[in-house]
Amino acid sequence: MRARIHSNGHLIGIAAVALLASGCSLVSSENDGEPEATDKTVTLVAHESFALPDELVAAFEKESGYTLEISKLEDAGALTNQLVLTKDDPVGDVVFGVDNSFATRAVDEGVFASYAPKLPAGAGKFELEGDDDDALTPIDNGNVCVNVDDAWFRKQGIPAPTSLADLTEPAYKDLFVIPGASTSSPGLAFLLATIEEYGDEWPTYWEDLVANGAKVVKGWSDAYFTDFTFSGGDRPIVVSYDSSPAFTLNKAGTKSTTSALLDNCFEQVEYAGVLRGDEDHETNVAGAEAVIDWLLSPEVQAALAPSMYVFPVADGVELPAEWATFAKRPQGTEQVAPADIASERKAWLEEWTEIISR
């Protein structure tokens, strides 16, 4: 998700200890019992911002009998590229973090084995359209939105932008930073949002953005934690998430210093999948399925918001109290059909690359 914001680790630890003390089950009964001796390690491949409390990982290992190794690559875009390049000799057994902007590429390349776990209530609406072979399981969701540093704009006495169109205006020259669409899932999500908003005129919009000094960087972490003014950078407009303002609270926790523009967001869903391998490079399928069951468990779904600043796919999960006020969700989002993304992604990215390289 994306690279993702990490915060409130001490709160996670407290919550996780409480869960352990209650004896809650973290994996489904389908995976009860000890795994085979030769398959006691399962490797989860994820993007760089995957984070769950150590206590939840320890509980999974104790109950399942597996040792969980977590291998982090970069953003979900780079992660997907790596999965495709290594599909015959996978870099792990199970993956988390492939999102709906890149998912069709990995599915079409045959990266995943089929697995259809029992989904919690509400998760079904996040399944990948056209995934008839059950290659991917939805785990979390969020919306990629333009974020603005309201405190910076107030200090400068400049009205903050309120729309995509505003970002091409001279008042916002050299103020916008965007993660790259070819290397970053939030970056691609933002590109897709502009394609949906402007249709065939999207290249003109991007030409105007570039002419107005928009800066394109490799990934979301670079944009948010290096260039965004909240983090000490010099650009007060950034592509991030609808949940990000819940991270940028003042010391009293009563006000956010940033806000998300909610009119042109792109819904992002992150998935998990069992890596297929081949007869010479078999993966730990049983272990991979146990990990996916664990990611869908009530305990992990409850930990997603405070640890990775994403929304769970399960209904009825209690979110951090401040989210009701500061993690406002859009009433509607820009939508591009997965089939269209699959057929047009390469051409769109080639044209986008040409525009930002001029």
How many Cβ atoms from other residues are within 10 Å of residue 355's Cβ?
17
**Percentage above 90 pLDDT, the chain:** 75
Secondary structure class of 23 (helix, strand, coil): coil
Measured CA to CA in angstroms, residue 349 lies from 50, 101, 195, 210 at distances of 26, 12, 11, 15
Tell me: the pLDDT tens digits for 242-294? 999 999 999 899 999 999 999 999 999 999 999 997 777 889 999 999 999 99
How much is the pLDDT for 290?
98
Class of domain 9-138+271-316: alpha beta
- Residue that the structure tokens 């044209």 belong to: 351
Q: Give the H or E element holding residue 125.
A: none
**Percentage above 70 pLDDT, the chain:** 89
Q: Tell me which residue of 241, 4, 272 sits closest to 128, measured CA to CA.
A: 272
AA identity, residue 172 = Y
pLDDT band at 9 (very low <50, low <70, confident <90, very high): very low
AA identity, residue 175 = L
CATH of domain 143-267+324-357: 3.40.190.10
Task: Enumerate helices (H) and strands (E) in the chain, giving the number of each.
Answer: 12, 12
Here the tokens at position 318 are 């209690």
Secondary structure class of 328 (helix, strand, coil): coil
Contacts of residue 110, defined as CB under 8 A and 6 or more positions apart, other chains included, come to 87, 276
Centroid of chain to Cα 308: 9
Contacts of residue 108, defined as CB under 8 A and 6 or more positions apart, other chains included, come to 342
248 and 256 in contact (C-beta within 8 Å)? yes
Centroid of chain to Cα 259: 19
Tell me: the pLDDT tens digits for 140-166? 999 999 999 999 999 999 999 999 999
- Residue that the structure tokens 């993660």 belong to: 179
pLDDT band at 80 (very low <50, low <70, confident <90, very high): confident
Q: Above 90 in pLDDT, residue 22?
A: no
Q: Tell me which residue of 26, 193, 185, 28 sits closest to 97, measured CA to CA.
A: 185
42 and 93 in contact (C-beta within 8 Å)? yes
How much is the pLDDT for 1?
41
Tell me: the pLDDT tens digits for 10-20? 333 333 333 33
Q: What are the structural domain ranges in the chain?
A: 9-138+271-316, 143-267+324-357
Angstrom distance (rounded) from CA 55 to CA 20: 8
AA identity, residue 263 = D
For residue 304, the number of C-alpha atoms closer than 13 Å in the C-beta half-sphere is 27
Q: Above 70 in pLDDT, residue 306?
A: yes
Instruction: Kindly write down the DSSP assignment for every residue of 214-240, as one continuous string.
Output: -EEESSHHHIIIIIBGGGT-SBSEEEE
Tell me: the pLDDT tens digits for 26-37? 554 444 545 554
Q: Is the dihedral of CA 223, 225, 226, 232 positive or negative?
A: positive
How much is the pLDDT for 38?
53
Here the tokens at position 277 are 């391998």
